[in-house]
Structure 1
Amino acid sequence: MAAKTLDLREVPPPERHPKIHDAFEELDSGEALELVNDHEPKPLFYEMQAEVDSFDADAYEVEQRGPSEFVAKLPKA
């Protein structure tokens, strides 16, 4: 699965979700958006699940790599 990476740790919080939605929209089916974040993006998961039909919630993954580094993969169906 091809992935585009978006590092959000330096992005101001109000700008994160719009940036994520724009990047996700640009993906082709079967690709994934990989997010590097300073916290677990659980609210984003629920937002994507509720609002984005092409978000493959069943294939969503998140891994904590450090105390303030989480990497999440948001796959597009």
Structure 2
Amino acid sequence: MTTIDAREIPPVQRHDEIHAAFHDLDSGETLTIVNDHEPKPLFYEMQAEIDSFDAENYEVEQRGPEEFVAKLPKE
């Protein structure tokens, strides 16, 4: 499993780095991201643009006021 703490990445670079890490996954693997807000825009972007994104099995959990953990599975 690959995990990225997006809170450590400048906001303008976050989606590019997350997309690159997702691209490097093998089929059946999951990218976990830790974010400071619910990553709904990222979810919609990946759902629309990445055929291998398994949107049905996407999960997000709020662990604190500024900590959201999202699991982005690859088909």
Output the TM-score relative to the length of structure 2: 0.98
Per the alignment, in what secondary structure is the counterpart of residue 8 of structure 2? coil
**Correspondence 1:43 to 2:41:** yes
Task: Give the structure with the larger helix fraction.
Answer: 2
Structure 1: distance between partners of 2:10 and 2:3: 17
Structure 1: distance between partners of 2:14 and 2:49: 16
Per the alignment, in what secondary structure is the counterpart of residue 9 of structure 1? helix
Q: Which residue of 2 aligns with 1:60?
A: 58
Structure 2: distance between partners of 1:42 and 1:53: 17
Structure 1: distance between partners of 2:32 and 2:19: 12
5+ residue gaps, structure 1: none
Segments of 4+ moved more than 3 angstroms:
none
Deviations 1:1-44 (A, max 9, x none): xx210001121100000000000000000000000000000000
Output the TM-score relative to the length of structure 1: 0.96
5+ residue gaps, structure 2: none
Q: Which residue of 1 aligns with 2:4?
A: 6
Residue identity opposite 2:28 in structure 1 = G
When the two structures are aligned, how many residues end up with a matched partner? 75
